[in-house]
Amino acid sequence: MADDAQLAAPARLGLPQATSMVVGTIIGVGIFNLPGSLAGFGPIALVAMGPTTLGAVALALMFASLARRMPADGGPYAYARAAFGNLVGFTNAWLYWIPCWAGNAAIATGWVLYVERFINTTHHPAATVALTLAGLWGAAAINLMGVGAMGRIQLWTSVLKFVPLLAMATIGLLFIDGANFEVLNRSGMPPLQAVTGAMALCLFSYIGVEAASVAAAKVRDPRRNVPRATVLGTLAAAIVYVLSLVAVMGIVPAAELTTSTAPFATAAQSMAGQWAGTLMAALVVVSGFGALNGWTMLAAEMPLAAANDGLFPDRFRTLSRRGVPAFGILTSTLLSTVVVVLSHIGASGIAVFDTLILMTGIAAAIPYAFSALAQLRWRWADRRVVRDARLVRDLLVATVSLVVSVLFVVYSRNTDESGFATWQPFLYAAGALALGVPVYLRMRPRMAPPPPPPPLRTAAADVEAVDA
């Protein structure tokens, strides 16, 4: 019975599993396809990776602070709702749900480019779509088996995915050809425009910093483990990201990167031969599947949290006998399937991947921005009770996070395209958001009142607060 399943105590994620979930959702296939996406900009894209990484670390620190204060399932959605009410909460829940399932479509699209080093090497369109959908539904099947199975897969795929990144971030640096950095800006754009355009593509590689806060209800001792997992996972990903991207762009000439469907495999092959390229592709396939596995869980956790508050239909809160929100898993995977099929009409490969990651970046950056606004609102009110370095730090980090989020929205257009295709990411995001309007109108009469803003005394980091 569903009621019995909901009363059962599900398995919980400890710090290693929670950290691996953050690492696993951040390190998917985004970084492994990013060199090809950035090749048109040239080495100036590495400049873009700097502020993007700083922005990701700022977001991680902000979500860690928010999770200490309010360790609620739903992450960005929960913060926006508590701070600004049900309308803003629903909008953020719906928006954040979009990058969960659309992002999974993007991950699967990038993942299959490496799969096709082994299968469908001629890139037949129908076979490409079939392989992409196999990855999506395989991850859904694992999540339907329960949190324990999902956590085990996530832990081991996170360990294995570090192998190619560490190899490229260490050994790969020895194979850099300085000639590949001689032309800094290959885009033909003014330098600032090139950097901001590249930053929008880089954002997708860091989406997932909030993964542990979204699934806080599944984490053991969330007030302690969610912040630690968030910061540790993001820092680990950031270090290997920057170093490995420098290596790949230094090893493979820009002209070759532009046409490569598997840039890391191309770089490994240049370093040590065909066997190295094949091994690298295999490891990326494992990495990509780990990301699909983690994001499938998040795609169900967000509507589950919203349904528990009366913002999403009740079907999303029904748990299976294995203690998982099966309806949310299946619905999100079905939406990912639709996005994959539609996106491959008239396009393929990196072009599809770029459009999907820009759309995902837009939809994710808005909830990030509202989380920053919630933090600013609460911490500004806290100044009446306590004033210390931590308060100043949190206000500064939230401000940086807000600015970064706004910039990602502004610059998330297809700079390599013209006409309709330039604004396609915005149109896709707007269309997906519009689908939520009838859902909101239907659910509005049943929505529970939002919780009061968490008082300062609930934050573990603020134990020095003065007793009023």
Q: What is the pLDDT of residues 67-126, one digit of tens each?
A: 778 776 667 888 888 889 889 989 988 988 887 888 788 888 888 888 888 888 888 888
**Is 387's pLDDT higher than 70?**
no
Rounded Cα distance, 343 and 129, in Å:
10
Average of per-residue pLDDT values in the chain: 79
pLDDT of residue 402: 93
Higher pLDDT, 74 or 443: 443
- Tell me the pLDDT band of 371, cut-offs 50, 70 and 90: very high
Q: Which range (62-76, 166-180, 209-223) has the least confidence?
A: 209-223
Higher pLDDT, 320 or 329: 329
Q: What is the mean pLDDT of residues 8-19?
A: 65
> What are the domain boundaries of the chain?
12-447
The tens digit of pLDDT for each residue in 353-370 reads: 667 777 877 888 899 999
- Dist CA 262 CA 337 (whole Å): 22
CA 413/CA 340 separation, integer angstroms: 19
Q: How many CA atoms lie within 13 A of 411 on its CB side?
A: 21
Q: What is the structure's pLDDT at 461?
A: 42
pLDDT confidence bin for 11, thresholds 50/70/90? low
List CB contacts of 24: < 8 A, sequence separation 6 or more: 154, 157, 158, 161, 208, 211, 290, 291, 293, 294
CATH, range 12-447: 1.20.1740.10
What pLDDT does 12 receive?
Answer: 66
When pLDDT is cut at 50, 70 and 90, the band that residue 399 belongs to is very high
User: If DSSP states are collapsed to H, E and C, what string results for the chain?
Assistant: CHHHHHHCCCCCECHHHHHHHHHHHHCCCHHHHHHHHHCCCCCHHHHHHHHHHHHHHHHHHHHHHHHHHCCCCCCHHHHHHHHHCHHHHHHHHHHHHHHHHHHHHHHHHHHHHHHCCCCCCCCCHHHHHHHHHHHHHHHHHHHHCCHHHHHHHHHHHHHHHHHHHHHHHHHHHHHCCHHHHCCCCCCCCCHHHHHHHHHHHHHHCCCCCCHHHHCHHHECCHHHHHHHHHHHHHHHHHHHHHHHHHHHHHHCCHHHHHHCCCHHHHHHHHHHCHHHHHHHHHHHHHHHHHHHHHHHHHHHHHHHHHHHCCCCCHHHHCCCCCCCCHHHHHHHHHHHHHHHHHHCCCCCHHHHHHHHHHHHHHHHHHHHHHHHHHHHHHHHHHCCCCCCHHHHHHHHHHHHHHHHHHHHHHCCCCCCCCHHHHHHHHHHHHHHHHCHHHHHHHHHHHCCCCCCCCCHHHCHHHCCCCCC
Average pLDDT over residues 4-28: 63
Phi, psi of 219 (to 5 degrees): -100, 135
231-249 per-position pLDDT tens digit: 788 788 788 888 888 899 8
What number is the average pLDDT over the span 337-357?
A: 70
The neighbour count for residue 258, using CB atoms within 10 Å, is 17
Q: What is the pTM of this model?
A: 0.74
Contact in structure between 26 and 207 (CB atoms under 8 Å): yes
pLDDT of residue 467: 36
* pLDDT reading at 466 higher than 50: no
Average the pLDDT over 319-327 and give the result: 85
Spatial CA neighbour of 356 closest among 128, 131, 201, 193: 201
Q: Which of 45-54, 126-135, 406-415 has the lowest mean pLDDT?
A: 406-415
Residue located via tokens 């490994």: 268
* Confidence band of 400 (pLDDT split at 50, 70, 90): very high
Residue for token pair 């005394």? 457
